[in-house]
């Protein structure tokens, strides 16, 4: 883990500052995959065997104007990067993502109206020293949970990918979904 001092701020000369709390890549959950799924979504938390997920990110177009021989730069339109989530394939998961696919498209009506398949998704990341992650240290017994919640508004899956079938290796199949969304908000929660 990092322990650098930059401009007098950060870690200490002996390494990582003991009072710092760090986020790890393994302390996260998906609270809601899509509110468009209704009651199906509340059941997904019990069957998901998560592998990986990317967090939502934004970049901004750069708008510039020249004045007095200086090029002034301003933020333009935001662009939100898609989120990729993968998990181990189970019977319940395959059924779930096929149901989501059917909310978007069927052979009778084609692509459906956005209000049929767009919903909100919630991804949370936690500090790894939370008591419910098994840490019983005094630091973990503190009040601050370190819960950061990302809410993706108007989210829907743009791709469903299942890992290939092969006799070349013995591994668990996985499913990856790419989710796009209109915008996101993140909030630090002390609960």
| 54 occurs within a structural domain | yes
Could you give the C-alpha distances from 20 to 16, 127, 129, 146, in angstroms and in order? 8, 11, 11, 12
More confident residue, 33 or 185: 185
At 75, is the pLDDT very low, low, confident or very high (cuts 50, 70, 90)? very high
| Confidence (pLDDT) at 21 | 66
Q: How many domains does the chain fold into?
A: 1
State the DSSP code for 36: G
Domain that residue 54 falls in:
30-58+71-189
Is 163 within the bounds of a domain?
Answer: yes
Q: Residue 137: pLDDT band by 50, 70, 90 thresholds?
A: very low
Q: At 128, which CATH number? A: 2.30.110
* Average of per-residue pLDDT across 26-50: 67
pLDDT at residue 24 tops 90:
no
């Amino acid at each position: 883990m990092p322990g650098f001092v930059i401009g007098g701020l950060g870690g200490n000369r002996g390494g990582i500052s003991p009072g710092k709390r760090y986020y790890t890549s393994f302390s996260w959950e998906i609270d809601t995959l899509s509110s468009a799924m209704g009651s199906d979504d509340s059941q997904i938390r019990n069957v998901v065997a998560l592998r990986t997920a990317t967090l939502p990110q934004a970049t901004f177009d750069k708008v510039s104007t020249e004045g007095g021989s200086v090029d002034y730069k301003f933020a333009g339109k935001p662009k939100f990067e898609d989120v990729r989530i993968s998990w181990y394939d189970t019977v319940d998961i395959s059924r779930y993502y096929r149901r989501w696919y059917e909310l978007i498209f069927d052979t009778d009506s084609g692509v459906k109206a956005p209000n049929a398949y767009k919903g909100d998704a919630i991804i949370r990341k936690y500090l790894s020293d939370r008591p419910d992650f098994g840490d019983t240290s005094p630091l973990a017994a503190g009040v601050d949970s370190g819960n950061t919640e990302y809410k993706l508004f108007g989210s829907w899956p743009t791709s469903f990918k299942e890992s290939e079938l092969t006799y070349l290796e013995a591994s668990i199949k996985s499913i990856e979904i790419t989710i796009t969304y209109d915008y996101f908000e993140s909030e630090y929660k002390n609960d």
